[in-house]
Structure 1
């Protein structure tokens, strides 16, 4: 990222998105930091030079279009988008944790309701589509831009009992790769970071038995949000010019694909 470049970051009120906003601010970028939680993203923006907060629900296509249009209207350009907004399902995690404690196989799919399925898919997958579409609509006429999507290692190992999250993130990866092959013809690069366990708010809400089951002394511990943010910043920068449609697995060696 160069001094004065304009970036739009979703999910910037906490975790990886907030870490990305901090890194970009430190590099002199002008950053619009968006999150569904206005108080959280305002607190992040208040401590960072060049960062403006915005309230955004990525599941709402109209909100996304208006937010991206406002970035261009206010700053005249959009150079980088980092899409980190996403949700997990604490109720499903509790089902898995309870099964672990009981020493029984989980029955999470049977307990998964339509509303929980729809929420995870609408934010994680539909939201990614909304952000990608809005970004390419303004970047392709400029024949330049970089988009980085935060995916998940769960799309590869498809953890038992977490089908809706795995399905959503697998869709995120396929969607991003398809868009990448289209957008590069217009000078716009799209890539994905697929983190493994990371110390974010989602991790903090993970029941201890389940969190413990994902710890393994043979691999690196949970990543910090800053470590994942550094990968996103690399993908957005000139040093990653030849990376298009890449899905970088950042899970500390838990598995390879």
Structure 2
């Protein structure tokens, strides 16, 4: 493993991190932030070229992984531990939305007709979102906890969504998958803390990522209007995530941190 990038601080000095979905968006911003704080970073993504590009930037290692493939996730985590000797931080940002559903939302907005998404979703549409967002999170959590248990420590951060609380019209599959991520992560957090492993979740609102760039302009404008701050940057989410992974959050276990620009609060 290459040496950590010289950076702005040593919060994660000497630690090893794995960032899934690290080839772009929030994951790439997290990889950069962790490296800047002294962490040796493994960047994993379904797009191998993107993973290698970000890894090169942070002087880490790039990996190709499809998080829906549990065997591939297990092999990835085992390989990181074998190469680096430990695994201290796992940040799971890999996930997808549904570009077609966004087009249907635009169609309804332009026509003035009610939103018609649910009855147009196929089993394959549903399974794709659930497999990547929810099953993928399960695969990563299981592999990470298995790797961290022998060392008696670790921090894992998953990415949910504010849409799990303030569910979006026309997005039932996405909202369900992210609500599942929250419940899964919180349940695992209660189990894993007995082994010194902290699990927490960040729940973003709209974030200006390549995935968000596929949102039709009219739909994006409507989403921006729901909050004062507008779309967050990936770097803002990276700050939230790195806090949850840091010693500064040592007493934070099973939290779901809203990062949605004040669109709503929950109690």
Q: Is it true that 1:152 corresponds to 2:185 in the alignment?
A: no
**Corresponding position: 1:25 with 2:74:** no
Compute the TM-score of the two structures, normalised by the length of structure 2. 0.94
Where does the alignment leave 5 or more consecutive residues of structure 2 unmatched?
1-10
One of 107, 112, 121 as aligned partner of 2:130: 121
C-alpha distance in 2 between matches for 1:231 and 1:124: 20
1:178 to 184, 187, 210: 187
> What is the correspondence of 1:85-104 to structure 2 with a 5 Å cutoff?
85-104=94-113
- The runs of 4+ residues in structure 1 deviating greater than 6 Å are none
TM normalised by structure 1 equals 0.98
**1:204-246 deviation line (CA, Å, top 9, x unaligned):** 0001111011012851110000000100000000000010000
Tell me the residue number matched to 1:166.
175
Per the alignment, residue 80 of structure 1 pairs with: 89
Which residue in the other structure is 2:228 paired with?
A: 219
Deviation at 1:137, TM superposition (A): 0.3
Q: Indicate which of 108, 114, 130 corresponds to 2:117.
A: 108
5+ residue gaps, structure 1: none
**What does residue 251 of structure 1 align with?**
260
Name which of 51, 60, 66 aligns with 2:75. 66
Q: CA offsets per residue over residues 175-202 of structure 1, 9 Å max, x none?
A: 0000000000110000000000000011
Report how far residue 151 of structure 1 moved: 0.7
| Equivalent residue pairs, number | 256
Question: RMSD of the TM alignment (CA)?
Answer: 0.9
